[in-house]
Structure 1
Amino acid sequence: MNDKRKQVRTEISAEIEVRDHHSGEPVGRLVNLSPSGMMLFVGREIAPHSVYQFDLLLPGVVLETDTLTLGAESLWCQPCESGEFCAGFHLIDIPPDQQDVLAALIQGE
């Protein structure tokens, strides 16, 4: 796949579960993250151009919160060697009060 990213993504070593904000259902696990995008391991195929509101369940408290809520549009999805799917997302909505949490997570704080 031809990498068209404008920003380098940070690999996330902590186990961060991602849930659907509205249903609370598990979606997958965070693999990497940048200010404009992320990749998840997901249990089912996700159609491109789908829009989601996600809650990232942080492994601890980051800037007084344990959840990062953001909106994302799926860009691609393909099978991974693990039997799961890898899915790439463009971040489209990050509330102002969550911007610093996103930055801290990318910086590994």
Structure 2
Amino acid sequence: MPDPQESRRAQRKPVNIAAEVIDAISGRSMGQLGNLSASGMLLIGHEAPRSEAIYQLHLPLPGLGVPPPTIEVGVQEQWHEEAATPGQVWAGYRIIAIGEEATAQLQRWLDTHG
């Protein structure tokens, strides 16, 4: 599991509902959302992302409705490592681009999942 002492800008909140994150450019799954904050996220995927790569993602916000709203964010890979489960990779991302409306939706999700 990733190092809990890693420096972070904001406390991450666990995601307890399956939420698949999609690459907005390729349409491919980047993985399942593990945790989320105002400044970053952990994804659990099946393949390692490119180191320090920038991605544009469709990020669902589970628990805010059915179907859950999806926001679009730009992220940069910060680290990744193999998980204890074979075939899974943990990857940490920093949010580097997010619109005002998406920021408000993300903050609403963070406020209701605290």
Amino acid corresponding to residue 97 of structure 1 in structure 2: E
The alignment yields a C-alpha RMSD, in angstroms, of 2.0
Q: Say how many residue pairs are matched.
A: 108
In 2, the alpha carbon distance for the partners of 1:32 and 1:81 equals 17
Deviation of 1:107 after TM superposition, in Å, equals 2.3
> Of 76, 79, 91, which aligns to 1:76?
79
In 2, the alpha carbon distance for the partners of 1:29 and 1:90 equals 16
Match of 1:90 in 2: 94
Structure 2: runs of 5+ lacking an equivalent: none
Could you state the TM-score of these two structures normalised by the residue count of structure 2? 0.84
Return the structure number with greater strand share. 1
User: Percent same amino acid among aligned pairs?
Assistant: 28
3-state DSSP of counterpart to 1:107 = helix
Amino acid corresponding to residue 110 of structure 2 in structure 1: I
Could you state the TM-score of these two structures normalised by the residue count of structure 1? 0.87
Superposition pairs for residues 25-104 of structure 1, below 5 Å?
A: 25-59=28-62, 66-83=69-86, 84-104=88-108
Deviation of 1:101 after TM superposition, in Å, equals 1.0
Q: Is the contact made by 1:47 and 1:76 (CA closer than 8 Å) also made in structure 2? A: no
Structure 1: runs of 5+ lacking an equivalent: none
